[in-house]
Amino acid sequence: MTFICVAGKAQERYADIKVSLVAPVTGDVIYPDNQFDITTRIHNLGVDTLRDTDSGMYMLYFDGFPISFGNASGGYDSFLVLSGQTILPGDSAEFSIQFTIDTSWKGGSTDICVALMPYNISGNLYDTILNNNKDCASVTIDNPTGVKTIASSGSSASIYPNPAKNEAYIKLSLASANEVSYRITDVTGRILLQDYKGRLKRGEHNLSVDISRLSPGTYWYQVNIGTETQNGKLVVQ
């Protein structure tokens, strides 16, 4: 990675930006519906100052897939812009965001990673070491309890293709006629898409889902058949 340079004859500056994931740490257990902090420390190991006019793209990954953030225009981006912080050589600064994982998150081991990439640099600034701009922790997502799954009734639900782009389909196999609805959320539980399909007949169904407004990243789908639920991961390309 090389920092983008603004055209001109500005004096060259050199930084070595190191990113450390302070929290959570490897071995932590995270519970759905409980808010937790993701804290990142940004170190300047170079010889020149990171100015408050410099900015970078802060990215968050769950199991290798980028997480989307809401933007001012009502859409979603795969990064946050960080700026307004002066970091002197040898100094560092922390940045935290608060997260709540939805109960639809599939439990088990999950890798959480943070990274910082160049966005808008004032003057000619170069990152001299490129392999320390990302850090990760392996945590455990505690499985939610009390969720009655669709499989227990003999019905089934899945989403395809997965990964998907622009459009996906929910494939249903209903053991009996029942009420059907679905929703798609980000990892914080924020509902991005939802629809009630009414009472569907027993048998096979394919429900089209327009995902063209979702930014590339990892999302979660929840299909409800009567009082039963099927959850899963959806990757949008």
pLDDT tens digit sequence for 181-233? 998 987 667 788 989 998 999 999 999 999 998 888 888 888 888 888 777 78
pLDDT of residue 81: 83
Q: 87 Cβ partners below 8 Å, 6+ apart?
A: 42, 43, 44, 49, 50, 93
CATH superfamily of 12-141: Immunoglobulins (2.60.40.10)
Residues of the chain with CATH 2.60.40.3080: 150-236
Cα torsion 156, 223, 70, 110: sign: negative
Q: Answer whether residue 103 shows pLDDT above 70.
A: no
By C-alpha distance, which of 84, 97, 108, 70 is closest to 191? 70
pTM here is 0.60
User: How much is the average pLDDT of 138-151?
Assistant: 61
Q: Which of 46-60, 114-128, 206-220 has the least mean pLDDT?
A: 114-128
Residues of the chain with CATH 2.60.40.10: 12-141
Q: Answer whether residue 146 shows pLDDT above 70.
A: no
**Phi-psi category of 151—alpha, beta or left, where left has phi over 0 and alpha has psi -120 to 50?**
alpha
Query: Which backbone phi and psi does 152 adopt, to 5 degrees?
Result: -70, -15
Q: Give the Å distances, CA to CA, from 45 to 10, 78, 84.
A: 21, 26, 19
- Could you tell me which CATH number the domain at 150-236 has? 2.60.40.3080
Q: 146 Cβ partners below 8 Å, 6+ apart?
A: none
